[in-house]
């Protein structure tokens, strides 16, 4: 639900951004040990202290742990998975020996402590701080790092994929404005060499990477906001690879020199319905819209089958998904809901109540054809129920100050645990907190269930809590969930070792077949 890869962890999980689409002036596309990738957005910052890389897969940094291809946790900067106390309140990590930052300085436990303490500092502009709510404190003990929790938090180990930054480089400066944000130093397989805002970021392989020197020596991430332009530049050979909408990727189906990669995701497209808006704040309007949309048609026509209907924030094949909440388009039921609430048909078939028309604006980001098509289809379905939705494109800079008042065609989704995305999206304590809880949704039943899911140790009890959340969203939706989209990539077929992961909302820049870029090998 956010625009670019923001300076916050949620932001990184929620929206894609506006960026210019000029070409790299020194393209290395087509060379054996270099790759040029077209992506729709660039980060605001490269500092993990502000949220960069919070979902893992940053090429500049590493966390204590990392995800493998199946999202299982594996050691990274830690030598092994954590030792967990019997009461679930203490997590102890032993650091891997001999790890150095790209400036040659040794990684120490003090760097880990500095990273977490800075993120937790209220003065640091990291909107994902609530993700570490369970953390009471962190301390160094020789080559060990000890985390103490306020309450048992079953998902805590997965939180320690957060990238670690060096105290000697990032300390002594304001984490919100300091030079580290654009000149990062990390332990990862690649080092930033150049960043031309709105145009490209260039990286070189770290020859001293603790995991082994990468075979791909140079990586350029070309910032190309417009989907059509990205496809054109890929076709011309200016790009080696790109993230593309399914319909544009289909044009490369018979191109034997390129390969398509489809990644399953938690990435949902939804329409936020602000509670402060006099129309979208009406529960009957929100419930009617939920029944009016034709999700199956959106998957078939907009996504070309590369996705699935969304009945809530979690995809239907997720083990935490609540069975039985699936629902088809039902315009008759939508009409009955509105009739009972006093919304009567008026001029042009648009309903009205107490002199107010059932009409509102829906903003979607310019240049994002998938969101545009969702917005137009949503408006068409809503009109059949007597609700006027005025779809309007805008830049994220225009959208951001209006998210509390106007509906937005948003994106959302985090991997690892249902707590990771649902809490920041729905909990009332985060209403109006930037891109967190964009629609300012408030539901005491949902709040209690989210708190229970976050604090529970027993999986069955946590499952019951998240079932409560998902059922409550059917009765009182804060958004209209539309589709879960597959992420589609097309890449020159010149390397081996490429795979995809199940991905969060954020994609293209860090996720994609290049999530394990350091393991690629040129084809012989």
Q: At what angle do helices 444-455 and 418-426 cross, to 10 degrees?
A: 150
Tell me the pLDDT of the chain averaged across its residues: 91
Q: What is the DSSP string of 390-410?
A: EEEEE-HHHHGGGTTTSEEEE
Look at the block and give the residue holding tokens 């012989």. Answer: 524
Residue 184: is its pLDDT beyond 70?
A: yes
Q: Which residues pair with 381 in a beta bridge?
A: none
Residue 217: is its pLDDT beyond 50?
A: yes
The answer to whether residues 211 and 187 touch, using CB atoms and an 8 Å cutoff, is no
Nearest to 187 by CA among 251, 107, 117: 107
Averaged over 476-502, what is the pLDDT?
94
pLDDT band with cut points at 50, 70 and 90 for residue 11: very low
**What pTM does this model have?**
0.84
pLDDT band with cut points at 50, 70 and 90 for residue 41: confident
Q: Please list, residue by residue across 29-45, b when 16 or more beta carbons sit within 10 angstroms of its beta carbon and e when fewer do.
A: beeeebbbbbbbbbbbb
**Tens digits of residue pLDDT in 341-386:** 999 998 889 999 999 999 999 999 998 889 999 999 999 999 999 9
pLDDT band with cut points at 50, 70 and 90 for residue 71: confident
pLDDT at 80: 98
Please provide the CATH number assigned to the domain covering 268-485. 3.10.105.10
**Tens digits of residue pLDDT in 399-413:** 999 999 999 999 988
Higher pLDDT, 421 or 338: 338
Q: What does DSSP say about strands 487-492 and 258-263: parallel, antiparallel, or unpaired?
A: antiparallel
**Which of the listed CATH numbers 3.40.50.1970, 3.30.70.890, 3.90.76.10, 3.90.550.10 matches domain 9-186+486-522?**
3.90.76.10
- The whole-angstrom separation of Cα 188 and Cα 205 is 9
**Tens digits of residue pLDDT in 242-278:** 999 998 999 999 999 999 999 999 999 999 999 999 9
Nearest 5°: phi and psi at 514? -90, 15
**Tens digits of residue pLDDT in 144-161:** 999 999 999 989 999 999
Residue 29: is its pLDDT beyond 80?
A: no
Question: 9-186+486-522 and 268-485: same fold?
Answer: no
The answer to whether residues 484 and 266 touch, using CB atoms and an 8 Å cutoff, is yes
- The whole-angstrom separation of Cα 14 and Cα 355 is 36
Residue 10: is its pLDDT beyond 80?
A: no
Tokens of residue 64, six digits: 């204590």
Q: At what angle do helices 227-236 and 369-384 cross, to 10 degrees?
A: 140
pLDDT at 28: 63
Averaged over 419-443, what is the pLDDT?
91
- The whole-angstrom separation of Cα 273 and Cα 281 is 7
Nearest to 505 by CA among 410, 413, 396: 413
Helix (H, G, I), strand (E, B) or coil at 73: strand
Residue 334: is its pLDDT beyond 90?
A: yes
The full set of domain ranges for the chain reads 9-186+486-522, 268-485
Query: How far is the CA of 392 from the CAs of 225, 258, 409, in angstroms?
Result: 18, 35, 10
**Tens digits of residue pLDDT in 460-475:** 999 999 999 999 999 9
pLDDT at 165: 97
Helix (H, G, I), strand (E, B) or coil at 512: coil
120 C-beta neighbours (distance < 10 Å), count: 16
Higher pLDDT, 489 or 2: 489
Averaged over 22-50, what is the pLDDT?
79
């Amino acid at each position: 639900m956010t625009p670019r890869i923001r300076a916050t962890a949620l932001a990184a999980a929620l929206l894609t951004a506006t960026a210019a689409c000029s070409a790299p002036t020194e393209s290395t596309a087509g060379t054996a040990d270099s790759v040029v990738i077209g992506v729709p957005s660039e980060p605001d910052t490269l500092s993990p202290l502000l949220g960069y890389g919070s979902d893992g897969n940053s090429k500049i940094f590493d966390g204590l742990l990392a995800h493998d291809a199946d999202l299982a946790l594996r050691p990274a900067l830690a030598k092994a998975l954590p030792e967990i106390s019997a009461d679930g309140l203490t997590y102890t990590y032993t650091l891997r020996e001999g790890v150095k930052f790209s400036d040659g300085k040794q990684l120490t436990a003090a760097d880990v402590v500095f990273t977490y303490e800075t993120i937790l500092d209220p003065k640091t502009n990291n909107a994902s701080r609530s993700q570490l709510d369970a953390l009471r404190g962190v301390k160094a003990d020789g080559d060990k790092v000890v985390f103490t929790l306020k309450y048992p938090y079953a998902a805590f180990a997965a939180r320690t994929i957060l990238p670690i930054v060096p105290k000697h480089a990032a300390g002594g400066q304001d984490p919100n404005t300091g030079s580290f944000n654009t000149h990062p130093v990390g332990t990862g397989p690649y080092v930033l060499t150049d960043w031309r805002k709105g145009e490209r970021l260039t990286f070189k392989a770290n020859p001293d990477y603790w995991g082994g020197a990468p075979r791909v020596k140079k990586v350029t991430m070309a910032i190309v906001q417009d989907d059509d332009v990205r496809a054109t530049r890929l076709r011309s050979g200016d790009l080696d690879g790109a993230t593309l909408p399914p319909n544009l990727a289909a044009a490369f189906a018979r191109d034997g020199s390129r390969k398509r990669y489809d990644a399953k995701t938690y990435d949902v497209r939804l329409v936020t319905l602000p509670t402060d808006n006099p129309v979208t704040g009406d529960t009957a309007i929100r419930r009617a819209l939920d029944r009016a949309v034709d999700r199956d048609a959106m998957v078939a026509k907009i996504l070309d089958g590369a996705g699935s209907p969304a009945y809530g924030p979690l995809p239907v094949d997720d083990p935490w998904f609540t069975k039985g909440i699936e629902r088809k388009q039902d315009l008759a039921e939508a009409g009955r809901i509105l009739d009972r609430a006093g919304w009567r048909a008026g001029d042009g078939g648009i309903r009205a109540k107490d002199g107010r028309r059932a009409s509102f604006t829906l903003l979607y980001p310019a240049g994002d054809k998938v969101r545009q098509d969702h917005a137009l289809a949503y408006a068409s379905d809503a009109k059949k129920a007597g609700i006027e939705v005025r779809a309007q494109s805008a830049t994220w800079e225009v959208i951001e100050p209006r998210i509390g008042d106007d509906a937005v065609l948003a994106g959302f989704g985090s991997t690892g645990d249902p707590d990771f995305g649902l809490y920041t999206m729905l909990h009332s304590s985060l209403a109006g907190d930037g891109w967190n809880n964009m629609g300012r949704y408030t539901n005491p039943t949902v709040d209690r269930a989210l708190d229970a899911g976050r604090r529970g140790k027993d999986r069955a009890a946590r499952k019951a809590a998240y079932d409560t959340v998902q059922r409550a969203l059917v009765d009182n939706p804060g958004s209209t969930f539309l589709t879960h989209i597959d992420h589609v990539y097309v890449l020159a077929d010149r390397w081996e070792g490429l795979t995809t992961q199940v991905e969060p909302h954020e994609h293209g820049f860090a996720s994609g077949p290049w999530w394990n870029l350091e393991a690629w090998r040129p084809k012989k």
